[in-house]
Amino acid sequence: MAAKLMRAVQYDRYGGGGAALKLVEVSIPSPKKGQLLLKVEATSLNPADWKIQKGMLRPFLPPKFPFTPGTCVAGEVVEVGQGVTAFKAGDKVITLLHFTVAGGLAEYAAAEEKLTVHRPAGISAAEGSGIPIAGLTALHSLRSLGINLDGVDKPINVLVTAASGGIGHYAVQLLKLAGDVHVTATCGERNLELVKNLGADEVLDYKSPGGAALESPTGRKYDAVVNCVAGIPWSTLKANLAAGGKVADVAATAGDMLRAALQKVCFCNKRRFPLISTPDGPGLEFLVGQMMEGKLRTVVDSKFPLKRAAEGFDKSIEGHATGKIVVEIF
C-alpha cells in the first residue's frame, strides 16, 4: 500500500537560505518505539536551522539531504509508538526534535516521548513552540552560572546581551524568578521598553557607546553574564565583570572556545565558557510550568504559514527577530 503523504519544507544542499527551501510532498513518518506521531501546529525557528543549512556544522549536520529543518514544535498527538505510556492521541504537546533528525517544518513529525511535554490549554501552539531550544538554552545558561532560580543566597548583578532575541528574552524573565537579581540587558533601541517590561532593571541600546561597552549605567560590575552575541571581545566583557565573574557564552566562536579552555586550566578568576544546551525533558517541563504560572511568556516576532516558511528562515538569517519567529503549519 502506498505511504500517506504530507507537505514538508526541505532543502537538498548546503547554502541558499530561504530561497533554497522547497515545499514538497513526502511520506508521513511512522512512530518508532518510544515515539509519538504529532500533527504539527507550529514550529519556531532558531539560528541553528539556517547555520546547519549553511554548512557550519558539516559534516555532521544535516545527517543527509534532503533535510527537513525545524526542531521546536507544538502539536497534537495522533498516534503513539510501542512503549509510550505518558501520552495518547488527542493530547496537545510541546516537543524538541533532535537536530540529527529534525522534521518540524512539516505537517507531521515523529517525536521522542522523553523530550515531549503536555501543553496546557492556556498555552497557544505558537507560544509553546518558542520554548524548546531558546528556553532550554536560557535555563541551562543560568544553571551553569550557578544561579539558583528558587532564590539566590545574596544579591547579584547579571547582564543578558541580545535580551530581545529568542534566548535573551527568556533569560531575562527566568532571572526574575531568582529573587534578588539586578538584571542589566542589551538590545536595539526599538526594544528598550519591551525588555524592561520583561523584567530587566536597566536596558542599554547596544549601538550607544555605553551599550557597546556593556557598561551598567548604575556602575555595577556583573557577577554573571549570559552572552547571546557572537564576537564580543573578552576585553569588553572582562572590564565589566566583578571578581569571580563568569560569562556563559551561547554564541562562542572557535577563538572564544580556545580562550575558555586556557582560562579553565589557568583557574582564572574571571572566566568565559561556551554553553551548549542539551535536550532536557524535565527542563522543558519546568519552563512550561513557569509559563502556566504566568511567570514566562514567549514574545512572538512573526508568524508564517508553512508555504511561506522561507520568509521566516530569511528573517532569522537577518538576525533582527524580537522573540521567536514561528511557522504555523496550515
Ligand X SMILES: NC(=O)c1ccc[n+]([C@@H]2O[C@H](COP(=O)([O-])OP(=O)(O)OC[C@H]3O[C@@H](n4cnc5c(N)ncnc54)[C@H](OP(=O)(O)O)[C@@H]3O)[C@@H](O)[C@H]2O)c1
The residue ranges that bind ligand X (CB under 6 A) are 46-48, 51, 133-134, 137, 161-162, 164-168, 186-188, 191, 206, 228-230, 250-251, 275-277, 316, 319-322
Measured between its terminal Cα atoms, the distance across the chain in Å is: 26
Upstream peptide bond of 282 is cis (omega within 30 degrees of 0): no
Helix (H/G/I), strand (E/B), else coil: 237: helix
8 sits in which H/E element: strand 5-10
**Max Cα–Cα distance, the chain, nearest Å:** 70
- Interhelix angle 132-144/281-292, rounded to 10 degrees, is 100
- The Cα 14–Cα 48 span in angstroms is 13
CB atoms < 10 A from the CB of 100, how many? 11
- The Cα 194–Cα 307 span in angstroms is 30
Q: Closest CB to ligand X belongs to which residue? A: 188
CB atoms < 10 A from the CB of 255, how many? 11
CB atoms < 10 A from the CB of 267, how many? 7
